[in-house]
Amino acid sequence: MMRKVPGTWIYRCGPALLLTCLLMAPGFTHARSPGDIEAGMFSLSSISEALPDGWQPLTFSKIKRHTGYSLVDQDGTVVVKAVSERSASGLARAMTIDPMQYPLIQWRWKVNNVLQKGDVTSRNGDDYPARIYITFAFDPDRAGYLERLKYDAARLLLGQDVPYRAISYIWESNAPAGTMVANPYTDRVMMFVVEGGEEKLQQWVTERRNVHEDYKKAFGEEPPMISGVAIMTDTDNTGESAVAWYGDIVFRKKGVSTLFLPK
């Protein structure tokens, strides 16, 4: 089932905020062992135009051109391929994960090219060849009065729960790795530049991040429950094109030995 975001006042903040209003809780977990939770085991899928199990497309009412996603064989492993041509859309999976118990996320990705006009500080440059979102559930005990009002309005509009905040791990075009910056559309989404520039283009890169610590660094408090995960390749603001591949995405307990994800 395709989810499409309505073009109301709540959603005039670009794909970053739209995404935080689309990954719903409660979701579900999928754990193969006590040490990990599998968010996206794409390598266990078959080559197909169909979406991976548990994942749904995200489209936005004001963005008519959509990024194409498919399961392909890349270097002997099934992965998700994203092709964006002046377009924007994503794939998302609703999940409920305790970041205190599973603070680590590990994934693999590969990018064909960066965007010449990409700029983390500008709405016109808010495009990335690859990014992964982690959304967090709303906790009324953590929210102020105005935040609770906004949340209630969004919930009434959608008829269901919506996330509270999100962090985004991005492959940026110009900003250096290690940069943390608020999304130019909303400070409810904090972005971490994991890879920057062209040095690692066209090669698989394995990433590991501590979601628990990144949330505290971004928002200055302990994180609530994780409510969902999404991948997104978009080029609608810059008017450029990008191709990226996403490998398996797994949450891990701290102290568990490194997972041997497919190379």
Residue 155: CATH number of its domain = 2.60.120.260
| 36 touches 259 (CB < 8 A) | yes
Confidence of residue 9 (pLDDT cuts 50, 70, 90): very low
- Residue 73's pLDDT is what? 96
The residues that bridge with 208 in the sheet, in sequence order, are 106
The answer to whether position 258 is within a domain reads no
Cβ burial, residue 220 (10 Å; 0-12/13-18/19+): exposed
Print the domain residue range for 241. Answer: 3-252
The answer to whether position 67 is within a domain reads yes
User: Which residues, 6 or more positions from 72, have their beta carbon under 8 angstroms from its beta carbon?
Assistant: 47, 78, 79, 80, 81, 245
Rounded CA-CA distance 57/69 in Å is 9
| Confidence check: pLDDT of 19 > 70 | no
Report the sign of the C-alpha dihedral through residues 41, 43, 44, 50, in that order.
positive
The answer to whether position 8 is within a domain reads yes
Q: Among 86-95, 105-114, 138-147, 215-224, name the one with the lowest average pLDDT.
A: 138-147
| Confidence check: pLDDT of 121 > 70 | yes
| Confidence check: pLDDT of 195 > 80 | yes
The answer to whether position 70 is within a domain reads yes
Domain count, the chain: 1
| Confidence check: pLDDT of 221 > 80 | yes
The answer to whether position 257 is within a domain reads no
Rounded CA-CA distance 110/201 in Å is 7
pTM for the predicted model, two decimal places:
0.83
The answer to whether position 263 is within a domain reads no
Helix or strand (DSSP H, E) at 74: strand 68-74
Confidence of residue 212 (pLDDT cuts 50, 70, 90): very high
Instruction: Supply 136's token pair.
Output: 């967090």
Report the sign of the C-alpha dihedral through residues 169, 173, 176, 181, in that order.
negative
The answer to whether position 147 is within a domain reads yes
| 131 touches 58 (CB < 8 A) | no
The answer to whether position 259 is within a domain reads no
